[in-house]
Structure formats: C-alpha cells, structure tokens
A and B are shown apart, each in its own frame.
Chain A
Amino acid sequence: MSIEIDRINKRFGDFIAVDNVSLTLNDGELTALLGPSGSGKTTLLRIIAGLEQPDSGRIRFQGEDATDLHVSDRGVGFVFQHYALFKHMNVFENVAYGLTVKPRSQRPSKKEIRDKVMHLLEMVQLDWTADRLPSQLSGGQRQRIALARALAVEPKVLLLDEPFGALDAKVRAELRRWLRRLHDEIHVTSVFVTHDQEEALEVSDRVVVMNRGKVEQDGTPEEVYDHPANPFVYQFLGNVNLFHARVQNGVAKIGSVQIAAPEYAGQQDSLALAYVRPHDLEVLNSREEDALHARIDLVSVVGPTVRLELQTDTSDQAVHAELSKHQYRSLGLVQGGDAWIRPVISRVFLRDADSP
C-alpha cells in the first residue's frame, strides 16, 4: 500500500509543525523520517495515522483519499515510543485486542484468535510471555509485544513513532536489526520516526530528513549519507568538521590546502565552508605542502578507533579526526605533538544567511 502525502500543512498556534510537505512512500518500503526534535516528523506520522488532522492537504493510501477517515477505520498499525500497552491485560489479551474489538460479524472465532496471537508471539519470540502482564516484561520485550499487537489486525501500513527511543543502546541495536529482518519477511509498508541517524541509516530502505517542518532530503541511506544535499543534512548525519574557505574559479582554499569545487566555477573570491567528516580527514606525521598544520590536543581511544581532537593554526574551533588504532600506532602520534591534516573527501557550501 503506497502512501501519498500531498501538500500537508499543520500548525500548533504560532508553531508551524509541518510546512507544505509532499512525499510518496512506495509499497513495501521501510522509510525513516529523520530529524531533530521539533522538526515535524512525529506530527507528520500522526497525520498519516489519523491521530492528528492536517490544516490542509490530503493523505492517500494506494490512491484513495484517507484524510477524513477516523484512525480506527484507516487500517494502520501504530507503535508508540512508550509502548502504550494496556496494563490491565496480559500479553495475550493485548495482542488479541484488535481482533476482539472487531464487530461480531467480522470477529474471528476464539480458536482463530488464539492461533493468530500465538503465531505472532512466536514471530516476536515471546510466546512464553502470553500469560504475563506488561509490567513484568523488559522495555525491549514490551516494544516487541506492542509491535505484535499492531500486526495482529494486519494493517496496510505500519507506523512507528521512535520505537526504540526509550531503550538502552544494546537492546536498541538488537531490536533494529530484528525489525529489519521482520520487515523483509512481511513487507508491509512501514514508516518510522527517529532522531538517531545511525538507526535511520541502518534499518531503512529510504531516509527522509526533516527540519523545521520541511523535507531537507529524501533518498536511500547511501545517497543521504554520501551526498548530503545541504549543510543541515551534512551536520545532522554524523559528526562533521567545518573549515572556512575561499572559493575562486572552482577551487576552494583552506589556507594552503586546495579542494576542487567545480560546481562553483563561476564564483570569484566567495566565502565558503568546507564540510569534512572525521574519518575523511587524513592525518600525517610530517609536513606536506597541501596539508594543514595542527596540534594534537586530545587522544581518546574508543575500542578499535582512535579519535583525535586537533587545533589548527588558523581557527579556534577544534577539529576532530578518526583513524584506526593501527594507523594511529604506525604514525607515532602523541598527545600534545604536531600533526598535519588533509581532507580526503569534502563538500563545499557557499556561505549565506542560512549557514552556521
């Protein structure tokens, strides 16, 4: 079931939550709505679900207008950040809820409900918890139950609002891999909201980056990460170093370092910012013509990688570089010592009112 979001607007008082957003989400795709808090991603998700009414614009499921359908008639499964399980029902009753509230004529028999619920519980690997109360389960287990509950009614669309937001790092990582596998099995069109870029990149087929109620970029995880459309996306997706640069005839200059910027071939002496990710920064232990001199302020070893905090001669802002422990050792770098840095991959954006 494809979802067509057509020029949706939503305000809360003076605050513009969703600003004229149009998107088409394809059948069977797992899409991540990624953005900082207040970017409108959750509001958009709730509008798709029918939990919120847009001020203007339409929502269509497979071409059919669903904007005025009540949430209970939309056939969406919704998973909440804080699970929203029914505390007074046991796990079985929770998962069976959507089936037992069907009108008598459509309601499956007791046995059918039992079989279906147990099947779903096996799918989320929690069939042994059927008689327990939600309060007796861990956060990760509760969220899996919430997902089973949403899937019980065979929704046309599965919507997840920061589904792993309340869980600790290890459980999060497990659950998102599990969600990916589950989606590969059942292929229901799914949208999930997250502010965690790693989660969005790892789990989804497609990432929609939102900021201030607008879509900043829309593409596959690789596209979005490797070719950010603008400085916001660059900064939001992972750590990034900013270097002040001057662009002249298609070349950006950061001190003695030159970076090709053919997209600005027409520019004469414009101020710009070069964006370089920490792992795209080459660190050298001896002077080279096209490298910047820097002092190593801090060395922190995080598992197999080493993070350096460097200070260049021209800027007050610390520069972060990331390299493997192996590289670090062979270079013989030390805290407080000298180093030379050279951007390997970078992206130059001209400075304007919007840039930081």
Chain B
Amino acid sequence: MTTIGAPVSTGTEKAAGGWITADGRTIGEIMMEMRNITLRFGGVTAIEDISFDIRKGEIRAIIGPNGAGKSSMLNVISGFYVPQEGEILFHGAQRPPMRPYEVARQGIARTFQNIALFKGMSTLDNIMTGRMTLMRTGMASQALWWGKAQAEESAHREAVEKIIDFLEIQTIRKTPVGRLPYGLQKRVELGRALAAEPKLLLLDEPMAGMNVEEKEDMSRFILDVNDEFGTTIALIEHDMGVVMDLSDRVVVMDYGKKIGDGTPDEVRNNKEVIDAYLGVAHD
C-alpha cells in the first residue's frame, strides 16, 4: 500500500545554533535578546531583572497570571516603554532607546489586547494602513495619485489582497470594521500587522474574549503565518491550552519576575509555575 502525501515528521534534531521542530520547521539563531530588563513605574516595579531570548522562526509565548508584567514586557519589546535597566539586542546589536515607529521600521509589528483599529474604515483600508512604513512616495503625490504613487498603490494593494486571501476575509473586504464581530476584528488586526511584512510579530492576547471556534481559527492562522511567511512570533496569552499547543518555548512571569523558561512540557512540570497558577500564597 502506498500512502500519499502524509505530512513529513523528522522529529526534534538540534541543528547549528538552532533546531528543527517535530513538525519540520527550522528554529534559527537568536533574533532578539533581553538582558536583565527592569522596568519601573514610579515606585512600582513592573518587570524585575528579566532575561530571555527570541529565536528566528519560533513561536515564543509569554504567560503568567494577571498583573505579572506580560503586557509591559511586550511594550518593552515594541519600544513603547523604555526600561530603566538592562539592554535589548536585536540581531546581535544593541538597540538604543527607540520610538515605536522606529521599532516598526526595524520589522517589528504588533496587535493590541484591546483592538485598536480605525472603526469607520473598511477592512481593506485598515490593512492598507499597515503598509505605511513601507510606502516611499510623498504625501502630495499620494494625495494626487500621480506619478510613482499609482504604481506603488497597486503594489501595496496586491500585497494587502494576498493577506485578505490568506486570512479568508474576502467577504468583509469593504465592510467598516466597526460593524464586524469581535473575532473578525481581531483577524483584521492580525492582517494589519502582517501587512507591514514583519520579521517579528508581537501578539497581545490574540484569543482574549473569543469562543472556542474563533480560538481554533486564530490558532490556525498563527501557525500558518509562522509556517508560510517564516515570521517569528512572540505572543501573550491567558488560555493555557492554546499556549501549550502553539508555542515552541514559553517564558513564565509572575509578579514581574521570570519563574520559568523552556518548552511547554518543561514549563508544565515546573513547580514554581504550578504554584503561580494554582495560587500558592506569596510571603
């Protein structure tokens, strides 16, 4: 009997600087490294002396109970917060304090916990705004739709249409996003982040407030983005089931400190992590 087309499974092998996962993806060298990051807001320490790295091609999750400092961590990566201590290395070079748009130009895109779309604009236009950092022609020629701006817009539109196709949202192409259900708005937001053709994609609770079916869809899209475009993904998520299924490695935070780091299995058996999640009293 010939079995046709079954997915190839190579098992976990350590490769130089990285490894190949059970489902055949290559995890490469270190893309971003956090060294001893500390972030304070006045007297409150949101993040205390945290170090971890994100490798090229992996799905890296940051988990932890409420108030653990996950979103702050993501905001540090995206350049929204500047940590008081510690350094961030991007592609091996130290990253100076940057404004968010400068970080975006480096190839880092993100979605937000509370959807931050332009409610009155269509899905298509919202995703188009994600291409902002890639547009080269000036405002005047764009407004007049003259010269290079024409060709440029066509090229961007093509890229956006590919994303619409990829996320299967053709039906809502022209619908104002304010009228869309929550799950679809989340998908449009992912689309806008993808439009920037990021090397590193930051997802802040992509499944929050979704029902099981929407979660399954979103998980599928996250895996597909990672697989098809080779995008490195760092995500924050509450749903443990989702995190354990999706991610290659997990950082666990609690009260601003890192209490665990490793593969989902390692993390799941880590005593400190279990305590944090089952609610052992802190002294």
Partners in one complex: no
Q: Which residues of A contact B (CB under 8 A)?
A: none
Q: Which residues of B contact A (CB under 8 A)?
A: none
